[in-house]
Amino acid sequence: MNHLPIPLGRNTDLYEAASIPKSIKKLGVRWKKRLRISFFVIMMVAILAPIVLAWTGNIWIDEKKLAAVQQSNSYAKLDEMPDYVWKSFVAIEDHRFMQHPGVDPIGLSRAIWLDIKEGAYVQGGSTITMQLARNLFLTNDKTMTRKVKEIAIALQLEQRYSKKELLEMYLNVIYFGHGKYGIGEAVPFYFGKKATETGDRAVTLGEAAMLASLPKGPERYSPVKNWDRAKQRQAVVLNRMNELAVIDQSESTLAKNEQITVVPTAKRAAK
């Protein structure tokens, strides 16, 4: 019987075929090791970065400005206003406010992606706490340096104060247009009443939604300058509140049809 010879040389195809699994195995081990190291580094950065940023936030906080916030004559407390007032701001400005630690990773990631896509700063991704930090201690310059400071201060403020305290300060420092800062100044200017009045004189849902429209563009959406634009933006706020189940459809409709009286220009100038 004839037998085919089996090649035994080191350079044969059979030897090479047998050696391939070993090289693949070594490569796989190396990649697994690299992945474990990369994962560890990412986890350490994810854990330590917020801690370092929060600590750094102390550097940019002006304690005197922070202490002076609640000393303003127009300061309005959250408990003295209807709940739908602050809820309207949370719904349109930062609906995950109660869940995030001062920085919303989802909103910030989306903003960064849009900025990169457009090649310009088109969306800030700032949370309510970040807006508070900017209004109190920073400028409105659209730079990465300012954004880092804003994040660091926000993380620090979240460690110092409760969500209720942060929201109250936010409502009392944000710009509402026409030189008015804080809801305590905005309500009398636009509607001729106090932010903390009760009963028939309390801020209505329609008025609250109109006020919540202003942080995005205080002059652009001012009911004094452009009533139609202010009403359009008010509807956006009310629709958002309805989507988030803060109010129902009937409440939204009533607020949209509400007769809102803006203080006449002549009466405002006489004050």
d(CA 195, CA 77): 9
End-to-end CA distance of the chain: give it in Å, rounded: 120
Whether 163 and 97 have beta carbons less than 8 Å apart is answered as yes
pLDDT at 165: 96
pLDDT at 188: 96
Residue with the bigger pLDDT between 115 and 98: it is 98
Residue with the bigger pLDDT between 142 and 200: it is 200
Whether 242 and 88 have beta carbons less than 8 Å apart is answered as no
pLDDT at 234: 97
d(CA 176, CA 161): 24
Length of the chain: 271
Residue with the bigger pLDDT between 246 and 10: it is 246
d(CA 235, CA 255): 9
Q: Which DSSP state fits 203?
A: P
> Residue ranges per domain, the chain?
25-270
The residue-averaged pLDDT of 167-184 equals 96
Q: Residue 212: is it exposed, middle or buried by C-beta count within 10 angstroms (0-12/13-18/19+)?
A: buried
What band does 212 get if pLDDT is binned at 50, 70 and 90? very high
Domain 25-270 grouped into CATH 1.10.1610.10: no
pLDDT at 17: 47
According to DSSP, the residues that pair with 175 across neighbouring strands are 181
Instruction: State pLDDT tens for residues 221-246.
Output: 999 999 999 999 999 999 999 999 99
Instruction: Compute the Cα dihedral for 86, 89, 94, 96 and give only its sign.
Output: positive
pLDDT at 213: 96
**Average model confidence (pLDDT) for the chain?**
81
Instruction: State pLDDT tens for residues 65-100.
Output: 888 888 888 999 999 999 999 999 999 999 999 999
The residue-averaged pLDDT of 167-192 equals 96
Instruction: Compute the Cα dihedral for 106, 107, 113, 116 and give only its sign.
Output: negative
